Amino acid sequence: MHRNAALAIASRSLVSFAYGYIVAIFPLYLKAIGYGSVEIGLIVFAAMIANSLLGVVAGMLADHYGRKYVLIALLAAFSIASGTFTSLRYAWALAAAAGLAGFAAGSTGGPIGSGGPLGAVQTAIISEVADRRSMSVLLSTAAILEMLSAMGGAFTLSILSYLGAYVYMLFYVAAALGIVSVALSAFIVDTGIRSRKLLPSLSYGRILRLSIPTVPCGLGSGIVLPLLSLWFEVRYHVGVGEIGVVFGAMDAMMVVFMLIIPRLSLGMGRLKTIVITRVASSLSFVAMAFSPVFAVAGLFLVLRGAFAMGGMPVRQSFVMTNVHESERATANGFTSFSRNTASSVGPTISGYLMGVDAAALPMYGGLIALLDPLLYYLLFRDKWNAD
């Protein structure tokens, strides 16, 4: 593996360990310090908007001034936000820190290919050393290592919970991991690839088309994922330990699907793979709403995550191969922005639904997300039979 790719993956994998448990403790921490479900939804909304804007800005800066330097800055910001988070009490300060660090970005905080500023820049760094055909497999390898790290973080949370430890001290662990990640990223060699302008000028049309399907994907997942641990607690009366086990199992299944799906796409084609995996992940969300017990709902969540993340490296390579190499971080930033901006609306809706019809929450998210694969097909059907 190329040195730059290895260093980018190693630094991001350390942070992914923290994201593996932060997704569970972030909304629960807000509840523990006195915020209600509607207020939590608003905080998550603000954090996701901030993180979306950061993704756009970071992507353009990375392409124009150097991806290595922006990656280091983002990791440093993650460390600072994590280390100060438990000392904050005002809603605006909590939202700002969470947005800077990406605490509301999903089960792994937006690892390779799944969105967020870190994912956008890291994906571009790795794509610099991959050819067109091997890119999906290399991105899959990166994602697998990060998911294994996130799985370790989720199971660590469960163990500490069962031992009766104060789990919110894990925010400080995240800060320490961020510092180590900064040190590793400092050894990445700048390739000198730069965009001519700060705003995209060579691929703006394709970036727009690639951003459109991410809107229903973001809105559907945004209704469910940010408050998922709270939904499990309200619907099935389970604690953080049981929730951590489900998240860990989901990470494990993601690894399996990431090994399989990108290799299947070599014969099937990228667009077909994207459509099939997105349909399966959306229907898994719908099935969660009709699950009678926690174990069944947890199983469908595991399947949803496996299909969504298993196909993510294929989607990311689809983006990378359809834009100019000097604007790849920018493309990731804009597709992340459209997805995360739509996602940010979700928590305000789900915060309301939690008090009205909590059981049906995943169904609404899944039905909206089904528009994602439909739009991919309609917008790019000329590539249906391409590699």
Counting the structural domains of the chain, the total is: 1
In a domain, residue 80? The reply is yes
Estimate the share of the chain in helix, then strand, then coil, as percent rounded to the nearest 5. Answer: 80, 0, 20
Closest to 25 measured CA to CA, from 97, 104, 84: 104
What's residue 359's pLDDT? Answer: 78
What's residue 174's pLDDT? Answer: 95
User: What is the Cα–Cα distance from 368 to 282, expressed in whole angstroms?
Assistant: 8
What's residue 93's pLDDT? Answer: 94
Q: Are 343 and 222 in contact (CB under 8 A)?
A: yes
In a domain, residue 195? The reply is no
In a domain, residue 363? The reply is yes
Closest to 249 measured CA to CA, from 290, 205, 210, 295: 295
What's residue 110's pLDDT? Answer: 44
Give the CA-trace dihedral at 8, 14, 20, 25, to 10 degrees: -120
In a domain, residue 196? The reply is no
User: What is the Cα–Cα distance from 190 to 69, expressed in whole angstroms?
Assistant: 9
What are the pLDDT tens digits along the chain (387 aa)? Answer: 688 888 988 998 899 899 989 888 898 899 989 998 888 888 988 887 888 888 889 989 999 899 999 999 999 999 999 999 999 999 999 999 999 998 876 433 444 444 578 888 888 888 888 776 678 788 888 888 887 888 889 889 989 988 888 899 999 999 999 999 999 999 999 888 888 888 777 788 888 899 999 999 989 988 888 778 888 888 888 887 888 788 878 878 888 898 899 888 888 888 999 999 999 999 999 999 899 999 999 999 999 999 998 888 888 888 888 888 888 888 888 887 888 778 777 777 877 777 777 778 889 899 999 999 999 999 998 888 876
Buried b (16+ CB within 10 A) or exposed e, 154-176: bbbbbebbeeeeebeebbebbbe
User: What is the Cα–Cα distance from 144 to 254, expressed in whole angstroms?
Assistant: 8
CATH number at residue 335: 1.20.1250.20
In a domain, residue 307? The reply is yes
In a domain, residue 194? The reply is no
Q: Are 55 and 336 in contact (CB under 8 A)?
A: yes
Chain centre to alpha carbon of residue 52? 11
In a domain, residue 146? The reply is yes
Task: Note the pTM of the prediction, 2 decimals.
Answer: 0.76
In a domain, residue 197? The reply is no
User: Which residues constitute the domain of residue 63?
Assistant: 3-189+203-383
